[in-house]
Structure 1
């Protein structure tokens, strides 16, 4: 595979020169044309709001994300565990559509460590790309849907019966997108719960998963398509 090293991006309001603006646009274009995005995080700063914005931009483009904490040698041994835990926690909270993303830490000074870690990172890139590209059988997905609905029935919408979820199929890959057919669309909260469980059960950590509901053409209050 080919790795594109983009320029560092500051907050939009801090971008000053024409050259820097062009560099930022090039980086954003690289995200849109990528297959896997490595989100580089400064170990001394942790996961910043700008990192989160860029990660969510990658997710909006349907790209899987891997977290890479750089400058690992610049923090103390006592800080390392806290930084690792904090980055993982904040990523799961703020980059929910790519929950469970792989996390690596690198130090450019320790060249032997870079070589070892890069091998593991390359394997992780290949694995997440394969998951992002994988197709799942309709029969398996529909059985999964029935099991999920039995454990966690969809809520009844205002003025009507509880929706019945009948079948699920995968409509596309890259990112994996699933279509749920039922008697009615369901709520946004239920869609999030279903999507998170689906990502976990299909082993898609760090991969944006999209779920669409298709019911009758009539709309109901509080529904999501």
Structure 2
């Protein structure tokens, strides 16, 4: 339904029954001069309902579709809420380093809506999908067209965010500021020293952090550095890969 709403025409078969679409279907279109390929994945039922071999094959095809994608639209049914299958698929997209936009569809029939419904639902999303804190959330209705034009806008934005490159000099200014605000803690009488950081790749953005001893880098301090990167540069909708490597201090000097 959301694919048809984006395209403005009945291009793919629509059914209320999950699993109707068996294969991933590629649909090419152009909007505002930008070429898009929409991969409408096979419908994925909850794991307990995956009994037939063809159903399992559909799930496998959907996972392969994520591998091919740049940006994943993580579709959540507003009426049903977040399912275990949703969590597994979202986790796969995250671990695959894909850009993610969370699309909460059927918002027009969400029960007992008030002026704080989106806030409460978003809080639940952040709680249930904790690893997708960076993903923007969009509330849509394929039936009424509510906010559907925003889907391609967000996809374009996230694609730009995950392709962003930051100069090494700018990254090292950020590291100096971060360390001055929150110095690395001592561990067994030894302090972590961050020598420099550089960006190694995009889609997803990958950063190499050179330190005196990688074992001194606690995951909480690595999260602090990630938060500083996001505060300074955005990177909305994309996971970040931070890799810690050893570098001799004398060699660095």
Q: Same fold (TM over 0.5)?
A: yes
Alignment correspondent of 1:199: 230
- Tell me, in whole angstroms, the C-alpha distance in 2 between the residues paired with 1:123 and 1:92: 22
Alignment correspondent of 1:223: none
Q: Is the 8 A contact 1:99 1:207 kept in 2?
A: no
Match of 1:109 among 143, 146, 156: 143
- Tell me, in whole angstroms, the C-alpha distance in 2 between the residues paired with 1:192 and 1:11: 32
Question: Does residue 89 in structure 1 map to residue 133 in structure 2?
Answer: no
Alignment correspondent of 1:43: 78
State the shift of 1:28 in Å: 0.5
Alignment correspondent of 1:59: 94
1:152-163 alignment runs, 5 A limit: 152-158=182-188, 160-163=189-192
Higher helix share: 1
Match of 2:180 among 133, 141, 150: 150
Alignment correspondent of 2:158: 128
In the alignment of these two chains, the number of paired residues is 211
- Greater Cα shift, 42-51 or 146-155: 42-51
Higher strand share: 2
- Tell me, in whole angstroms, the C-alpha distance in 2 between the residues paired with 1:190 and 1:168: 14
Consecutive unaligned residues of structure 1, counting only runs of 5 or more, are 218-225
Q: Is the 8 A contact 1:47 1:87 kept in 2?
A: no
Alignment correspondent of 1:182: 211
TM-score (norm 2): 0.77
State the shift of 1:62 in Å: 0.1
State the shift of 1:144 in Å: 0.4
